Amino acid sequence: MPSRPTSSSKASGSVRSLSRGLAILNYVNKMGDIRPGEIAKALELPRPTVYRLLATLEELGYVAFSATSSYVRVTRYAAALGDGYALTSELSLAAGPLFAEYSQRLVWPLDLTVYNNAAMVIQETTHGRSPMSIDRGMTGYRLPMLRTSSGRAYLAFCSEAERVLILELLQRLNDPDDGPFLEQRGLTQVLEETRARGVAVRDSGEFRPQTGSIAVPVRSGGNVLGCVSMIWIRTAMSSQKALDQFAEPLLEIASRIAGALPD
C-alpha cells in the first residue's frame, strides 16, 4: 500500500510547481509571444504541465492566450518582470476581441502590427479564420517598412526623430528591394499622401503582388503604438473601393484599441 504524502513532500511539490510557473512566466515575458509547445521544448517540461501552469497563470491574470492564434503573452500585471513586451501584450489583448467583432463585417483578413528593428511584426491576425485569406500562420511574420501599408502608416505618423532613425537603419541594411522606395522624392510623396488620407495604401505589387492592403496607425498620447491593416486580393477589388468601404472601420478599430489601453 503506497504511503500517504507527507507535509514535506507536499511542500516540495508546491515549490516545484511554483518554480516551474515562474520559469514559464519569465520565459513568456522574455519571448514576447510564444506557443505552449515551444515553451515545453525550451524549458524541457512536459506539455500537460505547461498547459496546466499556463491555465493557472491566466486565471491569476499574468498571461493571456491570443484571441486569434495559439500564442500566449504576458499581461500588464506581469509588466514588472521586464519592459520589453508589456505594451505589445496590451495592444494584442485589446485587438483580439475587436478583430473577432469586425471580422464578419469586413471579411478580408486583418493584422495588428508593431514596429521592431526595421520591420512591422504581426502580433494579431484573422488570416487563420478569414475565408478570403490566402495566407496562414502569419503571427510573428516580419513585414518590410517601405513596401507594406503598415510600414508606411507607421513611418507617416511616427515622430520625425523616430522616422529619421528608422530610415537610416534601412539605408544601412541596404536591402536591394528597398532601394527604389528610399528615393527621397518618392518616399516624401508617399508619406505626405498617407498623412492627407489618414490611411496608408499598398497596391502596386511592391510586396506580395497578388494582394493589396490599407493600414491605419494606433495612436495614443501623440505616439504611434502599432498599426491595423486589412489585406485583399487585388483582382477582387480596387484600392479606391477598399478605401471607400473599409478605411472608416479600420480607423474605428484603431481608435477602440487605443481607448482600451490602460492609463
Confidence (pLDDT) at 38: 93
Confidence (pLDDT) at 74: 79
What residue ranges of the chain have pLDDT lower than 70? 1-13, 76-86, 127-138, 263
| 17/23 Cα distance (integer angstroms) | 10
| 209/213 Cα distance (integer angstroms) | 11
Q: Which pLDDT tens digit goes with each residue over 15-73?
A: 888 889 888 988 887 787 789 999 999 999 999 999 999 999 888 878 888 877 788 88
Alpha helices for 107-215 (secondary structure H): 149-157, 160-173, 184-197
Residues contacting 120, CB < 8 A, separation 6+: 113, 114, 142, 143, 144, 145, 148, 150, 151, 154, 227
With 0-12 / 13-18 / 19 or more C-beta atoms within 10 angstroms meaning exposed / middle / buried, residue 32 is buried
Q: What is the pTM of this model?
A: 0.70
Confidence (pLDDT) at 127: 60
| Residue listed under C-alpha cell 504576458 | 74
Confidence (pLDDT) at 1: 47
Confidence (pLDDT) at 136: 56
Task: State the DSSP code for 4.
Answer: P
| 225/113 Cα distance (integer angstroms) | 9
Domains of the chain and any CATH numbers:
7-81 (1.10.10.10), 86-260 (3.30.450.40)
| Residue listed under C-alpha cell 526595421 | 118
Q: Which DSSP helix (H) or strand (E) runs through 111?
A: strand 110-115
| 102/89 Cα distance (integer angstroms) | 20
Confidence (pLDDT) at 46: 93
